[in-house]
Structure 1
């Protein structure tokens, strides 16, 4: 009986010693890996940081904060997209080299997230790889190569997740904006059909009745007005259909016909058939620009002739127009020219208008062509 009790006490003592030896074995393994934690004492009370090291870390952190503020608040440009994020990476890597405590991966993740808002996948992933390698190299110099190989991959994965989250956020925002734009186009098409379509139909019917009862000298003018009303109604219907579904590109023949119903000035359009473009947005912009040029000349130029040349090169599409009207000393742009500038600006184009008294008005529009990637 006594030997059995003695045996139980020895077994319990042996189990207690094995349990107490487990933390010591764990910390011996961490010491061999040269990780920063080597004992329970280090967990409870971190080693004191020398004042120069602390000052260098604070300076690097302040530099990171200033660069982050600049990249967030300054105007968009190369310096904001590339220069300031590079400064942030340098500051974060310097913090790793001086005193690595794990916070630096969060700072680099902020850089990766900001990068995902503008950089394509190839550029963004390459940037994240480079900054992760720099941080791992600084970690190896501060701790050990084994520590860098152990902690580097999780840090890289966390930064890549931040970049992918930013890309997904941008795609969702772009999708919502496109949906809102389509809903607005649909609502505008309904209003245009219900209001303008109804009024133009009534105008066409009244002109038709007037044409039957008017004297013979006026019938030709009424017939021209009736034709214009029908053409305008057809244009409204085409516009409504274009709002609801993709439109076919406007061709040279359609653009050359813009001046057919304008009695004055006489419109001369030079647009070769082989210059037709396949991009519906570009073709529609050219159509609306030429249409606005003809309308402005008919309203304000007091000209007898209007010449419009549509040309194309390997890099740009151009519309050049000039008239023999009276011209003006000071050009005041109305809604038509402002709308033309806005249309051109959406495609990266530009508009130049020059008018002199007695010398007519010259207008030049240029739209850069998108190069294949």
Structure 2
């Protein structure tokens, strides 16, 4: 198997090996290329990963999960993103983003109804937070949820919503008290097929197998029982899963960087120029060395942070650091990889695809600038 697993437990090495073998069988390179070309969601791979039990990892045992460790999740997400970033994104929607909202905010009735279906791969989820007026200002949203008898009526627009076009359920943030800032925010579980919802695909630079979308809510009726947590207490629920989100995104970035180092090294070993293999030129060897150093720095930061979380430490600064370092390093590694591939990387292929995909890392899931604000605040600045 292709990369260093020092510090992994025996079970975690087996996890990594098993999931990569599964993906090679169910989603070979030709399938990745086909799905990328069609901007098609990897439905069959999603279902096969679920059948193999991988979607059970983050959930509690009483709902059919395995209640895994943070390090287990890091190992899994790194492997998924190493193989293909779209698969890690497909995994995150129902298990990490939607899963966290269900675990921490849903009624027991909804947990029993939906978590087993997520684990079985039968329910996909989208998280509808970001709006055209601003992404990082989660408290400044304009979408409204107005109480009407036993329902809420949701009206507004969301944008950059991953996998809304294939979702069965959406977790939607809306203002129930528009004058109260973050104290007027509520979260709702919404059937994605509800009347009044319109989803439009966007045309992103990367992430072609897990598209982002605009979502319009035109007087969408949501039963009161679908309120997640308490009315006007959605901010706490929104913030509760941030450590988990950041650490798994860091792991995914590390996986992407690992793949770039692998394919760039292979290219440099096989390609010749002026009578020598590319890797024999010091400039190329140094670029590959720099890529390796950036990658292992990202992984080390991620693993250390996962260990802190498993020890029960509320590592807010650490997760912000891990996500920022890993995402920015993966982008730098991809840029260096493109410089080694040169024209061969600019056309269709793994290098071009990963280059496009890594650019989202410093933007999605909290921009690097916002996360630097988090770190500064944790430092008392």
Q: TM-score, normalised by structure 1?
A: 0.26
> Larger relative CO (CA 8 A, sep 6+): 1 or 2?
2
Say which structure is richer in helix. Answer: 1
| Higher gyration radius (CA) | 1
